[in-house]
A and B are shown apart, each in its own frame.
Chain A
């Protein structure tokens, strides 16, 4: 694998295809609902209430969205720290996916005062998440910028050309410091996403309430990151007729299997040591079992070399791991949270429309960018239909 030329090229082709129009329509509907929310308050579109102030928006859009954004982190760990340069073709798309995963945070948090009024900063774990995520988005933009510079430096505009040359030199010179930051920041805010649910304390079910939440969230994000990279690479090679990355993903999958196994073992041992195993018979125990078994299933699929070398099994395992990983996060933020018997929450239809709209917009932007800019690798500039 190590010998092939790592040439990134735009996919090309028409952008406004039919799937694209469908995605844009879903995004537009979500946008309209969001507009309604901004005019009439959160209560007008969501089922959120004073018992469950956080619902699917925070657990799906923010907590899972940030984990989906960990593709760049996971592959970056391999490429830069473990010196496995051959994963390079996966890095740029992973970074792009990361950028989109983080993009929806700012919509919910009116963040501008948070970085500005630094003398008022508290020790809130959420502040740590907010600042780190804001910084990480900036780092991701810099990491991805060569893709844009490479296109612009061959363009017609002379000032844009010289800016692109300068930009490429800048990123090249400071690459180590920039990319080290790109690894440090997710380590910090992914663990802090776990710390955040320590504050509700006894209102979080004991199966999820542990001082090790930060660690569980960190390892979980690496797992989800690998799954996202696999799905995204296989999707791109199928939809855009690119060269298949299956062999490279196979060795990546082996790492994923070990990380997932480690996570499952840690999760179970923690519950055993603290004597919480009896809680498995409660209703919430089913959710615990589901998250652990899904993750375990993903690991077991990928442990067998004959399976992990095949694209179909890679995709299956990635889906299972993604479900298990995401379920752990939904469980921690939503299912495990109990504000008292007299409160209930189930997301409203309009609330879900906003969530769907965000994901549709992200996929649409991803497709548009890989068609216009050199993000994906592979030698077949195929006529894509997707």
Chain B
């Protein structure tokens, strides 16, 4: 009358087998992604930044963004935005811990394997194949905000107070680019003046510079080598972190204090991709499961025969 233990186990086994079939993880994690050869990036050095916020103003002008005013008491700086928001793609923040102080520049990190793009259903957020810049195309954005959940740096912002809301984030001033970038005498690959990222072009101290990722990493390593003890952990953040980012940081206070999380060298989409690919590679597992379900149902249908009501067979 009641479901006996065998049936109960059968149920658990069936559910378990189905689930195991769909969650079987491949033994080897998917390969680490590499930046495209001409990947562009930025290098920000906290020891050079004087917190003038020229870059914040330049970003607002270049991207036609309205002024957003923070609270002077909170920021302990000026009447400027406190953090990235729907009107701010680039911001300078102040970190204070007793004696130590540091400025911090925040904008999109342009990850080599970005969580936001992995979350995006229709590649509305995607990496440019040449520059590696994470670009946003609102035409295919359904406003689900999964990208905001998936970004470990809290970069994409959503226009919560707009009817036709979009995602707002740094796109490396790609709307200004018209000509190809070429290597300059200083050894950095630049666009003609006025076409590169506005924040880097206006920085009076060279605290944030741009060029190809490889050039910037070489410069960062050189600075670390020439100034032992000056930089925290004697390394640049972003070379390996989070699967590698195209914006790299040199700092004199702990990275985590500046909002750069210690997430290890694996990119966050890697695990989700591995699970997802384990389930759906070639769509084999779902098709096999579908076939198995149908076969069992056909057999059950036959075995019940005349005893069961026909209505039941039709699944009502």
Q: Which residues of A are in contact with B by a Cβ distance under 8 Å?
A: 1, 5-6, 8, 38-44, 46, 48-51, 53-54, 77-78, 80-85, 88, 91-92, 108-111, 113-114, 117, 120-128, 130, 143, 146-147, 168, 171-172, 175-181, 183-184, 187-188, 191-192, 195-196, 198-203, 211-212, 214-215, 218-219, 222, 247, 250-252, 254-255, 258-259, 262, 305, 337, 339-340, 342
Contacts and interface: CB of A to CB of B under 8 A. Distances in A.
A43 B7 CA distance: 50
Given A122-B122, A180-B290, 16 more contacts: A5-B309, A39-B163, A50-B160, A53-B158, A83-B303, A84-B7, A85-B308, A92-B316, A123-B118, A127-B122, A146-B316, A175-B315, A176-B294, A191-B279, A211-B271, A340-B259
Contacts of B19: 187, 191, 214-215, 218-219
Given A146-B316, A218-B19, A222-B15, A81 B296 contact: yes
A82 B275 CA distance: 28
B140 A113 contact: yes
B263 A202 contact: yes
B146 interface: yes
A83 B160 CA distance: 50
B129 interface: no
A215 B297 CA distance: 24
B122 A117 contact: yes
A53 B316 contact: no
Nearest to B20: A215
A53 B149 contact: yes
Given A42-B165, A175-B315, A188-B286, A113 B122 contact: yes
Interface string B301-313: 1011000110111
Given A114-B142, A126-B119, A147-B316, A251 B149 contact: no
A54 B7 contact: no
B1 A43 contact: no
Contact of A180 (B86, B117, B276, B297): B297
Interface in B134-164: 140, 142-146, 148-150, 152, 154, 157-163
B280 interface: yes
Interface of B: 1-3, 7-12, 14-16, 18-20, 22-23, 25, 83-86, 115, 117-123, 140, 142-146, 148-150, 152, 154, 157-163, 165, 259, 261, 263, 268-269, 271-277, 279-280, 286, 289-290, 293-294, 296-298, 300-301, 303-304, 308-309, 311-316
Nearest to B8: A258
Given A122-B118, A254-B8, A258-B8, A109 B271 contact: no
B14 A77 contact: yes
B165 A41 contact: yes
Contact of A254 (B3, B272, B309): B3
Leading 5 A-B pairs by shortest Cβ distance: A43-B160, A201-B268, A251-B2, A53-B145, A198-B272
A254 B2 contact: yes
Contact of A54 (B16, B20, B117, B149): B149
A154 B286 CA distance: 40
B261 A143 contact: no
Given A44-B161, A80-B300, A215 B23 contact: yes
A250 B120 contact: no
A123 B115 CA distance: 12
A191 B286 contact: no
A85 B148 contact: no
Contact of B315 (A42, A171, A250, A262): A171
A218 B304 CA distance: 29
B161 A183 contact: no
A67 to B, nearest CB: 15
A76 to B, nearest CB: 9
A82 B276 CA distance: 28
A314 to B, nearest CB: 13
A177 B150 contact: no
Contacts of A258: 8-9, 11-12
A340 B154 contact: yes
B100 to A, nearest CB: 19
Contact of A187 (B9, B117, B289, B315): B289
Contacts of B2: 250-251, 254, 305
A335 to B, nearest CB: 14
Contacts of B146: 124, 126, 196, 199
Nearest to A222: B15
Q: Which of A41, A124, A130, A143 has the most CB of B within 10 A?
A: A124
B86 A50 contact: yes
A12 B22 CA distance: 43
A50 B157 contact: yes
Contact of A184 (B7, B272, B289): B289
B243 to A, nearest CB: 11
A123 B276 contact: yes
Contacts of A111: 142
Contacts of B7: 82, 84, 255
Contacts of A191: 19, 22-23, 279
